[in-house]
Amino acid sequence: MKLLSVRNLSVTIRGIPILSELSFDMAPGRVFGLVGESGSGKSMTALALMGLLPHGARRTGSALFQGQDLLRMAEAGLCRLRGNKIGMIFQEPMTALNPPCDHRRPGGRDGAPSRKPVSPRSPCHCPRQA
């Protein structure tokens, strides 16, 4: 069974090839890693699937998610999926996550992580590096 099935995904930006004939499957409940050198197109792959490519981009191929082709969905349909069925954390988590939350901070009575926003200037709670 496949959660997402990408076939022959190609992207150009203002005519410049960015991705060429990329195909892969994601299975439900499994972790999928996409590995490549800087500039190889990992972010563009995610942005293409989310319908968030920059102006001047063109994409071809197919990306079946729950029976729907993400590359052919109207914007309204993608808006219903984004954040509900498909989430994305953009490349710089300290600016992409809003508000930033420290999930290691002790929570309320039920022990759940605190949702209190953390100031970017607050002390870091990471364990000290040796």
Ligand X SMILES: Nc1ncnc2c1ncn2[C@@H]1O[C@H](COP(=O)(O)OP(=O)(O)OP(=O)(O)O)[C@@H](O)[C@H]1O
Q: Which of 5, 12, 43, 114 touches Mg ion (CB under 5 A)?
A: 43
Indicate the residue type of 79. C
Task: Report if residue 43 touches ligand X, rule: CB under 6 A.
Answer: yes
CB of 14 to ligand X, least distance (A): 7
Q: Which of 13, 86, 101, 118 touches ligand X (CB under 6 A)?
A: 13
Task: Report if residue 42 touches ligand X, rule: CB under 6 A.
Answer: yes
DSSP 37-91: -TTSSHHHHHHHHHT-PPTTEEEEEEEEETTEEGGG--HHHHHHHBTTTB----S
Task: Report if residue 12 touches ligand X, rule: CB under 6 A.
Answer: no
Give the C-alpha separation, 14 to 16, whole Å: 6
Task: Report if residue 114 touches ligand X, rule: CB under 6 A.
Answer: no
Give the C-alpha separation, 56 to 13, whole Å: 5
Q: Kindly list the residues in this chain that would bind ligand X in the complex (CB under 6 A).
A: 13, 18, 36, 38-44, 54, 91
